[in-house]
Amino acid sequence: MKIYLKLFSVHHQTRRRRGAIGAVIDRFPEFAPRRVGGDPPRQRVTDGMETLLASIEGDVDLDGERDRSDRSPVTWFIELAGEEWWVGGPDGEEEVLRAESTLSVIPTVPDSDSGDLLERLVQLMAELGDAMGASYGCACSEEQLMAQDRWHPDGPGRPSLTWGLCDIFWLQYFGPAFVARYPGLDDETIGWRTPRGAVIHRATEMPARRPAKAETHLGASWKQPLLSVLGPEPFRSRVETNAALPNVEEHLADDDERTPASPYLLAEAEQRRADMARREEIRERERAEAYTRGRTRRLGLDSRRAVPVLSPGSREWSINVDADEVKGFWTRLRRTAEVAVSGPYAGALLREITNCPDGAGGSVILDSAAGPFELGWYADDVESLILSVHGTKKLTRIADDSA
């Protein structure tokens, strides 16, 4: 059974705190990674994770794994933001200029395990959460995590410190800010306190393997004790700030390594925001100009070509892609299907599609060695598009292979 354990923190991940995180990992050798690095991991951990994590300056972004021959694989994703990114905001308010730090552990627990490994995983979560100053954490089976996509079709299907906790899981780590906001968490029937003052809630003895089909979001009986303390609001999942969750300032209240921002950092942050806004403004203007040039050129060339007629019974195929993936798709489709368009026409069409503004779209009918087809596009937002192809069975198969 694969278990997903994730912890979130907005605390300063100083060298001392990173070392403390590594020391916890070293105390649990059955989970500790033996290799870390990029993707895939390359570097062997020779002197322990405490030494490794404490030696890294600034941000930490590591993947880790045990030996591939291990029968119970464990994968780590460690993202710890460097302390230098904390600055003060307007009117003395603190502002986070980077994403929260996260630490994920994904072990596979053998079906024959008597529960000892799960007990060690509970202890690992508690110690890691305290070491990194976690605001919140959760652990559950892979099946329960995947169920979030069904229960939250219109919003994020994963826990977030800003948008919502999504669900009640097998294990949850509630930092001191949650305990202060919801005093009922301190009841011994709900969970147990860690040395830092966080609360570990264990909803069931074993992680749920497959949520029952009839079990709707938050509807299971084993979720009710915690639900009676927090209510349903913290679990609402929307792409907006959830007022039922503690804010960043509340989470930072117990961060004893937090340092005030200097006037230099404040000025630097303001300049960074201004530069970012200016770059975005330039980028949007360039996109609009490129779209207009491409569309004008394509329509002018359209008037000079004979538009083919689609074959009866044309099939439909579509895909959602990022804007920067359109060029590769169009190049492969043109080459494989031998699309009958000139270079200038193909270039103008590509420019029009990749720079299409949010909410706009279009279509053209083209000829190819696989028969006539209609290429359509619609911009979901400024970063992604829906591409569609109507044509012969062979043509739609080529489109699928080109995606």
Per DSSP, 310 falls in state P
Q: Do 127 and 216 share a domain, yes or no?
A: yes
Q: How far is CA 87 from the centre of its chain?
A: 24
Kindly state the tokens that stand for 100. 């929260």
Judgement on whether residues 100 and 8 belong to the same structural domain of the protein: yes
In whole angstroms, give the CA distance from residue 47 to residue 84.
27
- List the domain range (segments joined by +) for residue 64: 3-252
- Is the residue at 225 inside a domain? yes
Q: Do 248 and 309 sit in the same domain of this protein?
A: no
Residue 288 lies in a domain: no
Using the 3D structure, point to which of 212, 233, 252 is the last residue of a domain. 252
Asked whether residue 193 falls in the same domain as residue 71, the answer is yes
Does residue 283 form part of some domain?
Answer: no
Whether residue 293 lies inside any domain: the answer is: no
Predicted local confidence at residue 96, as pLDDT: 44
For residue 267, the model assigns a pLDDT of 63
115: in domain: yes
DSSP one-letter string for 203-256: -SSS--SS--TT--TT-SGGGHHHHHHH-SGGG---SS--TTS--HHHHHTT-T
Per-residue pLDDT of the chain (403 residues; tens, 9 = 90+): 889 999 999 888 888 899 999 999 999 998 998 888 876 667 788 889 999 998 887 778 888 887 665 666 888 888 887 554 444 444 544 444 445 788 888 888 877 666 788 999 999 999 999 999 999 999 998 888 887 776 665 566 788 888 889 889 999 999 999 999 999 999 989 999 999 999 999 998 888 766 665 556 788 888 999 999 999 999 887 777 889 999 887 888 888 776 655 555 556 666 767 787 888 889 889 989 999 999 999 999 988 888 888 888 888 998 888 888 889 999 999 999 999 988 999 999 999 999 998 888 999 999 999 999 999 999 876 677 889 999 998 999 999 888 7
Side-by-side strand order, sheet with 136-141: 43-44, 35-37, 60-65, 74-80, 101-107, 3-9, 136-141, 171-174, 199-202, 192-193
Beta bridge partner(s), residue 192: 200
Q: How much is the pTM?
A: 0.63
3 state SS of 380: coil
**Bond from prior residue into 40 cis (ω within 30 degrees of 0):** yes
d(CA 13, CA 8): 12
Specify whether 20 is located in the same domain as 160: yes
For residues 73 and 188, membership in a common domain is answered with: yes
The CATH number assigned to the domain holding 316 equals 3.30.160
Same domain? 17 vs 121: yes
* Whether 223 and 372 share a structural domain: no
In a domain, 248, yes or no: yes
In a domain, 266, yes or no: no
Kindly state whether residue 281 falls inside one of the protein's structural domains.
no
Q: Of 189, 220, 252, which marks where a domain is finished?
A: 252
User: Residues 319, 380: contact at Cβ < 8 Å?
Assistant: no
CA distances to 133, 248, 254, 257 from 251, in Å: 9, 5, 7, 13
Contacts 24+ apart (CB under 8 A), 156-162: 156/237, 156/238, 156/239, 157/237, 159/6, 159/8, 160/237, 161/8, 161/10, 161/100, 161/135, 161/136, 161/245, 161/251, 162/241, 162/242, 162/245
Same domain for 221 and 310? no
Q: Can you tell me the distance from the alpha carbon of 348 to that of 181, in angstroms, rounded to the nearest whole number?
A: 57
Please count the CA atoms within 13 angstroms of the CA of 273 that sit on its side-chain side: 13
**Domain count of the fold of the chain:** 2
Domain co-membership, 102 together with 208: yes
- Whether residues 222 and 335 fall in one domain: no
Does 96 share its domain with 198? yes
